[in-house]
Amino acid sequence: MASINPIFAVQLHYDEEGDVLYASVDKPRQALSFEVDTDILLRYVPPDPTTIGITILGFLGHYPCPLDIPLLDHARHVVSRLLEQYPQVPKDDDLL
């Protein structure tokens, strides 16, 4: 059975006016948010700590997009890196 690269299941929405990137693994759903870094929020559904989405406030301020790369391609790359770094919401003792 072939595995599916989870980044292809990620839905992206960029709010240009607010400079906010919303990324959801599979379909967007209600979840809690956990800020892992300034303006970077992981979304999860307790008690499961698995990251099901990411919201990045001030996206282009934090991750400027090179002129030769389409915005959503750039966003997909950023989200992929963040999902690799944070497959789960860190426990409190992981942050110390």
Structurally, how many domains does the chain consist of?
A: 1
Looking at the domain assignment, is residue 95 inside a domain? Answer: no
Looking at the domain assignment, is residue 94 inside a domain? Answer: no
Looking at the domain assignment, is residue 14 inside a domain? Answer: yes
Percent of the chain with pLDDT over 90: 80
Question: Hey, what are 45's tokens?
Answer: 């559904």
* Per-residue model confidence as pLDDT tens digits over 39-72: 999 999 999 999 999 999 999 999 999 999 999 9
Looking at the domain assignment, is residue 93 inside a domain? Answer: no
Q: Structural domain of residue 57, as residue ranges?
A: 6-88
Predicted pLDDT of residue 9: 83
Predicted pLDDT of residue 49: 95
Looking at the domain assignment, is residue 1 inside a domain? Answer: no
Q: Are 52 and 77 in contact (CB under 8 A)?
A: no
Would you put residue 89 in left (φ > 0), alpha (ψ -120 to 50) or beta? Answer: beta
